[in-house]
Amino acid sequence: KAGVTQTPRYLIKTRGQQVTLSCSPISGHRSVSWYQQTPGQGLQFLFEYFSETQRNKGNFPGRFSGRQFSNSRSEMNVSTLELGDSALYLCASSLKSSNEKLFFGSGTQLSVL
Amino acid sequence: GESVGLHLPTLSVQEGDNSIINCAYSNSASDYFIWYKQESGKGPQFIIDIRSNMDKRQGQRVTVLLNKTVKHLSLQIAATQPGDSAVYFCAEQLSGGSYIPTFGRGTSLIVHP
């Protein structure tokens, strides 16, 4: 069974731009959650989607948004990029809930210049 | 959720030694705990989990111990190998409902050959 796939692997953007990251969960997994990982803050929860609905949201500004499609694939979008948005963005999938064992992708490394 | 902390940010051991990575959690209501391993350039991978009705759980070369009295979790790795070099995270969760898992800051394990 294929693992969680995230694209692109690396991204370089400039301040003010917007970016869209993609995540394909493990087949059959319906819960997709997103995390931001930085050396200073560790793993910070962004949001969780289940059956195309946002079920939980972390403490991030409205510039961070996401969605989930009917096939459980998910995208997250960051608008008006700031330097502090530079981070590794990780997607994790699980069968039903982010409260279960999570399966992570390799992440998208975003650099904002 | 409440914060989860790790006592040691970096642990250096010799190949063949046993390693112990510690984690303190704050939410006494947490009833499910997971250890993840993150190798360089990859997302976190599940290692082992334990529920609050257990004190100890063993896997292949790994053992997780849970002390609910002092809210402490540890991961023991037997006969540590260079391939065990990674960052290890603990996560505390409250099963059921919409509780968001909380990750510790991580401990970097360095295994010297």
How much is the pLDDT for A96?
80
How much is the pLDDT for B96?
67
B42 to A106: CB separation less than 8 angstroms, yes or no? yes
What number is the average pLDDT over the span B29-33? 92
B101 to A4: CB separation less than 8 angstroms, yes or no? no
More confident of the two residues B4 and A68: A68
How much is the pLDDT for A97?
76
Size of interface A-B (CB pairs under 8 A): 51
B31 shares contact with chain A (CB less than 8 Å): no
pLDDT at B6 over 50: no
Q: What is the pLDDT of residues B37-64, one digit of tens each?
A: 999 989 999 999 999 999 999 999 999 9
A43 to B89: CB separation less than 8 angstroms, yes or no? yes
Determine the Cα angle at B103 with ends B99 and B107, to 5°.
165
Q: pLDDT grade, residue B2 (50/70/90)?
A: very low
B42 shares contact with chain A (CB less than 8 Å): yes
pLDDT at B97 over 70: no
Contacts of B99 in chain A (CB under 8 A): 99
Q: Is the distance from CB of A101 to CB of B59 less than 8 angstroms?
A: no
B40 shares contact with chain A (CB less than 8 Å): no
Q: With 0-12 CB in 10 A as exposed, 13-18 as middle and 19+ as buried, what is B16?
A: exposed
A103 shares contact with chain B (CB less than 8 Å): yes
Q: What is the pLDDT of residues A39-61, one digit of tens each?
A: 877 899 999 999 999 998 999 99
B104 shares contact with chain A (CB less than 8 Å): yes
